[in-house]
Amino acid sequence: MNEVNLIHEIQVTAIYAGVHGLLAVLLANFVLYARLRGSKVPDWQPEAAFRVQANFIENVPIALLLLLVLELQGVQTILLHACGGTLFVLRVLHAVGLGTYQGANYPRLIGAQGTFVLISVMAVSCIATAF
């Protein structure tokens, strides 16, 4: 019975963990795509695809962990959806910006810096809910 209750308590995190899991697989395949189509993609794209996936792996697990903690701490559902949804949009922006355009561009900037801000806000919120 406790197990069933726990599943309901982390419903929001379950949604965003699942969505980001699918995005992680997509980005991993994008690395293969850029490598296998070496002659058909720009020289810079394989390295960029690799960096998109690496940055995703560096940032998303900690963001999802923070989301899980916030949900277990009883934060409002609407705020949890705002965090999870924003994280997804920011990671897509970063992937599009870094993976499809060479050099500095706004999707990449907003995606990367937005993720850092979001993680910072969620981290501070986690600490705040402890008191």
Partner 1 sequence: MDELWIVCLGLGMIWQGLLITWVSGLPLAIRAPDTPKPQAGTPEAFGFFWIEQYRFIGLILALAGFVLAMTGWLI
State in angstroms the smallest separation of the CB of 128 from partner 1.
36
Contact pick of 9, 14, 33, 81 for partner 1 (by CB under 8 A): 33
Give yes or no for residue 36 binding partner 1 (CB under 8 A).
yes
Please say whether the beta carbons of 99 and 52 come within 8 A: yes
State in angstroms the smallest separation of the CB of 43 from partner 1.
19
Counting every residue written for the chain, the total comes to 131
Give yes or no for residue 4 binding partner 1 (CB under 8 A).
no
User: Which of 87, 122, 89, 93 lies closest to 109, judged by CA?
Assistant: 93
User: Which of 67, 55, 46 lies closest to 23, judged by CA?
Assistant: 55
Contact pick of 11, 29, 77, 102 for partner 1 (by CB under 8 A): 29
Residue with tokens 């699942």: 18
Of 40 and 104, nearer to partner 1 (C-beta) is 40
State in angstroms the smallest separation of the CB of 14 from partner 1.
12
Of 40 and 78, nearer to partner 1 (C-beta) is 40
Please say whether the beta carbons of 71 and 9 come within 8 A: yes
Give yes or no for residue 25 binding partner 1 (CB under 8 A).
yes
Rg over CA atoms, the chain? 17
